[in-house]
Amino acid sequence: SAAWPWDRQRAAHLYRRLGFGAPFQVLEQALTQNPVSLADSLVDAALNAPLSPPPAWANWTYNDYDNFTEQLEEQFVEWLRTWVTDMLDNPLRGKLTLFWHNHFVTEFDAYVCPSYLYRYHKVLQQHCLGNFKEFVYEMGKTPAMLVYLNGLQNSKNAPNENYARELYELFTLGADNGYTQQDIVETARALTGNTLITAACGDIYFNPFDWDNGPKTIFGQTGNWGYGDVVDILFEQRGEEIADFICSKIYRYFVHPEVDENIVSGLAETFINNNFELEPVFRQLFLSEHFFDEAVLGVRVKSPLELTLGFLNESNLPIGPEMKELAIYTSGQLGQTLSIPVNVAGWPGNRAWISNSTLTARWNTIAYLMYVAFLQDAELYRTLAQGLAGDPNSNMPELVAGAIIEQFIPIGLQTPELYERAYIVFKADIPENYYATGQWNLNWETAPYQVTLLLDYLNRLPEFQLA
């Protein structure tokens, strides 16, 4: 609309929220498209993206290893690299997978089986835009979840309430929302029986002798319930609560930390009317005018993976195996290691990513990634500036610096003084008369270095931390 034009700022917003940023060429192409059609096509791409190919060890048990400790580490790193590759190749599917990973939390340190990690990640990819009820059902059967939340120890003679509690509190309803402690007790009884395992890291089977086959009352419904019945009853009896909880969480992650109740209400209605299919909910949100509202631009603090992968993407730097592992490692140092969230509730996100120590670490991380890329090929930074400026021979430092700022700062700098400081940083120690006479241009030997000076200046501004 005239009030909210389709411009580079909003195109960058779309790619940051539905992925991990985009290089300037992608944003330029986006501006030639209708924003609704573009968002629609990004959802289509996520739906049609092939699953990450299974590794050679997808079905390994402990007995298949020659050196478990050494091979375990190799396979763990291999799959995190595969995970990040999918985030880069299939941005929205990768972003959704990360979102649901932080919802249906498991921790690799608890189960220590690469085959379980692969199968867990596969379920995230398969169902991230699918039917949420099926998603809940399938996730509860993954070996990673059964081990992590003690389903493997849940038997009729020694019921364990961990999964039953988190099923309601974290995965479907929200804390203290529509369930009682007695519902948890009865649900735990219904979930007994997944206790048979023939080898470490092997399949987990249902053992009918460990299943409590007595009557249970869950949400007022009494019967000889098992796991499938629990999921059916949950969605039949608490559908509205589920819809509100899940749609609120989606909104906070993809739009704004503070929920707009009117928008969430509409999403929840769509969720229920479509039998808990996720795709219509995400389409409704991403294709809405509200999603591009001025008030939701640049209001979320980037997670470490959004920070590192976003910088590499927006700089259009090559992201080979070494850079992927560097992004994985540095993101972990900043508090976000894939497959190892902080606890069962996941990473709190947003402002929790920032503290006195993590802020300086975030600055240093981006500076280091920038330095590594500079050593590999400094000309990449000249190419970046030339593309953003729209003129490979530009001799206008303010125009070049302004274009770089627009690429990396979601809502621009907040005062004229910050822009002036940015221009000074970009000009470096080159005498002013070289700029005044037009002698300096982007073909100068110092241009790549000047770009890195400006990027490091921007990196240390609060606005750089936002998406």
Establish if 437 belongs to a structural domain.
yes
The pLDDT value recorded for residue 4 is 77
| 140's tokens | 């509860």
Neighbours of 437 (CB within 10 A): 9
3-class DSSP state for residue 277?
Answer: strand
Establish if 296 belongs to a structural domain.
no
Per-residue model confidence as pLDDT tens for the chain (467 residues): 677 799 999 999 999 999 999 999 999 999 999 999 999 999 999 999 999 999 999 999 999 999 999 999 999 999 999 999 999 999 999 999 999 999 999 999 999 999 999 999 999 999 999 999 999 999 999 999 999 999 999 999 999 999 999 999 999 999 999 999 999 999 999 999 999 999 999 999 999 999 999 999 999 999 999 999 999 999 999 999 999 999 999 999 999 999 999 999 999 999 999 999 999 999 999 999 999 999 999 999 999 999 999 999 999 999 999 999 999 999 999 999 999 999 999 999 999 999 999 999 999 999 999 999 999 999 999 999 999 999 999 999 999 999 999 999 999 999 999 999 999 999 999 999 999 999 999 999 999 999 999 999 999 999 999 99
| Residue pLDDT, tens place only, 349-388 | 999 999 999 999 999 999 999 999 999 999 999 999 999 9
3-class DSSP state for residue 131?
Answer: strand
Establish if 349 belongs to a structural domain.
yes
Give DSSP secondary structure letters for 309-340: HHHHHHTT----HHHHHHHHHHHHHTT-BTTB
Closest of 314, 319, 312, 293 to residue 407, by C-alpha: 314
Distance CA 451, CA 433 (A): 20
Establish if 366 belongs to a structural domain.
yes
Distance CA 424, CA 454 (A): 9
Q: 340: domain range? A: 304-465
Establish if 365 belongs to a structural domain.
yes
Establish if 386 belongs to a structural domain.
yes
* Cα atoms in the 13 Å half-sphere on the side-chain side of 400: 31
Using a 10 angstrom Cβ sphere, with 0-12 exposed, 13-18 middle and 19 or more buried, the burial of residue 384 is: buried
The pLDDT value recorded for residue 3 is 72
Give DSSP secondary structure letters for 172-226: IS-TTSS--HHHHHHHHHHTTT--EESSTTS-EE--GGGS--S-EEETTEEE---
| CB of 301 closer than 8 Å to CB of 283 | no
Task: Say if pTM beats, i.e. exceeds, 0.75.
Answer: yes
| CB of 212 closer than 8 Å to CB of 227 | no
For tokens 């909104």, the residue is 251
Compute, in degrees rounded to 10, the torsion defined by CA atoms 282, 285, 288, 293. -140
Domain tally for the chain? 1
Establish if 449 belongs to a structural domain.
yes
Establish if 76 belongs to a structural domain.
no
Closest of 59, 171, 53, 291 to residue 163, by C-alpha: 171
For tokens 């402002």, the residue is 351
Q: How far is CA 34 from the centre of its chain?
A: 25
For tokens 């986006």, the residue is 30
